[in-house]
């Protein structure tokens, strides 16, 4: 693996009984980039996210991260190595405060509550959630809960951050704040892979895009090249986009 490559999946296949969710998926993620993973519903994006994060193990193929084979490692070990993720449906601890939720992520790197709290406070400041630190998570608005997902993941001090539709369902102004946060994350030295359906937002944001369709890689390249690819237009964007 090249030193520039942080993550690589090699011919990864995942079967659920007779259903093949991913078939021979080979992708590379470069250090310091924002990579967009796009495609129609049922394309296999969420399955690939789960394979990278360790929620699923591949039926065949291998996954390498930061120079080592992680194919068989559980999610907890991958998190310790530097892979963090958010969820499409936020998974917060609603009876705990925002600060306590982010501290959960902080305990990945810090053994003491004092150190985890300090790290969590720094992340809350970075993500613009400081004013909600003492608020019960169940009282947050949906956009705040999405941002909290990012904050908790960042508290694990990742090298790679997997963002699962963190901009979906936001107003234009909320989405713009989300874009600015993702750029700050990348500028802090964290590589980002994001699944997103809002094309008008994601394409100007990402450095590269990979399109999945029916569990396989349909196209890969710069956003401008991908949206002009006839196969992508046919499978995902539609003829209206071509016009």
Residue 156 has pLDDT above 80, yes or no: yes
- What pLDDT was estimated at residue 2? 66
Give the whole-angstrom CA distance, residue 75 versus residue 174: 30
Select the more confidently predicted residue: 72 or 232: 72
* Distance set, CA 167 to CA 11, 33, 215 (Å): 29, 18, 23
Classified as helix, coil or strand, 239 is: helix
* Residue percentage of the chain with pLDDT more than 90: 80
Helix 142-154 × helix 113-127 angle, to 10°:
130
Q: What is the mean pLDDT of residues 49-63?
A: 96
- What pLDDT was estimated at residue 22? 97
Residue 123 has pLDDT above 90, yes or no: yes
The residues facing 29 across adjacent strands are: 7
**52 closest CA partner among 127, 134, 163:** 163
Q: What is the mean pLDDT of residues 154-164?
A: 97
User: Which structural domains are found in the chain, ordered by start?
Assistant: 1-82+159-168+190-243 (3.40.50.300)
For tokens 């030193």, name the residue: 3
Select the more confidently predicted residue: 35 or 91: 35
For tokens 């080592």, name the residue: 68
Q: Where does the pLDDT of residue 243 fall: very low under 50, low under 70, confident under 90, or very high at 90 and above?
A: very low
Query: How far apart are the two ends of the chain, measured CA to CA in Å?
Result: 41
Output the six-digit token pair for 130.
Answer: 């400081």
Instruction: Give exposure, 78-90, as e/b (b: 16+ Cβ within 10 Å).
Output: bbebbbbbbbbeb
Q: Where does the pLDDT of residue 109 fall: very low under 50, low under 70, confident under 90, or very high at 90 and above?
A: very high
Which residues, 6 or more positions from 191, have their beta carbon under 8 angstroms from its beta carbon?
A: 6, 7, 29, 30, 31, 32, 33, 34, 35, 159, 160, 161
* Arithmetic mean of pLDDT over the chain: 93
pLDDT tens per residue, range 189-211: 999 999 987 778 888 999 999 99
Residue 237 has pLDDT above 90, yes or no: no
Q: Could you tell me if residue 187 is left (phi over 0), alpha (psi between -120 and 50 degrees) or otherwise beta?
A: alpha
What element of type H or E holds 147?
A: helix 142-154
Select the more confidently predicted residue: 198 or 220: 220
**pTM over 0.85, yes/no:** yes
Q: Where does the pLDDT of residue 69 fall: very low under 50, low under 70, confident under 90, or very high at 90 and above?
A: very high
Give the whole-angstrom CA distance, residue 154 versus residue 76: 15
Max mean pLDDT among 33-42, 186-195, 233-242 falls in 186-195
DSSP string, 63-93: EEETTEE-TT--HHHHHHHTEEE--SS----
């Amino acid at each position: 693996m090249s030193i520039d490559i942080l993550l690589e999946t090699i011919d990864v296949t995942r079967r659920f009984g007779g259903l093949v969710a991913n078939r021979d998926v080979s992708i590379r993620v470069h250090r310091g980039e924002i990579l967009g993973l796009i495609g129609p519903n049922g394309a296999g994006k969420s399955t690939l996210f789960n394979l990278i994060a360790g929620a699923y193990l591949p039926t065949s193929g291998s996954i390498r991260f930061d120079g080592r084979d992680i194919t068989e490692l559980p999610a907890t070990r991958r998190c310790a190595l530097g892979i963090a993720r958010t969820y499409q449906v936020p998974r917060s601890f609603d009876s705990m405060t925002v600060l306590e939720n982010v501290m959960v992520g902080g305990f990945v790197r810090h053994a003491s509550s004092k150190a985890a709290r300090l790290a969590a406070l720094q992340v809350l400041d970075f993500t613009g959630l400081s004013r909600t630190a003492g608020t019960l998570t169940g009282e947050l608005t949906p956009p705040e809960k999405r941002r909290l997902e990012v904050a908790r993941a960042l508290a694990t001090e990742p090298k790679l951050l997997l963002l699962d539709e963190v901009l979906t369902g936001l107003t234009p102004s909320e989405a713009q704040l989300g874009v600015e946060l993702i750029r700050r994350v990348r500028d802090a030295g964290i590589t980002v892979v994001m699944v997103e359906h809002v094309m008008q937002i994601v394409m100007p944001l990402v450095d590269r895009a990979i399109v999945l369709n029916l569990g396989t890689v349909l196209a890969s390249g710069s956003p401008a090249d991908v949206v002009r690819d006839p196969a992508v237009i046919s499978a995902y964007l539609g003829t209206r986009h071509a016009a």
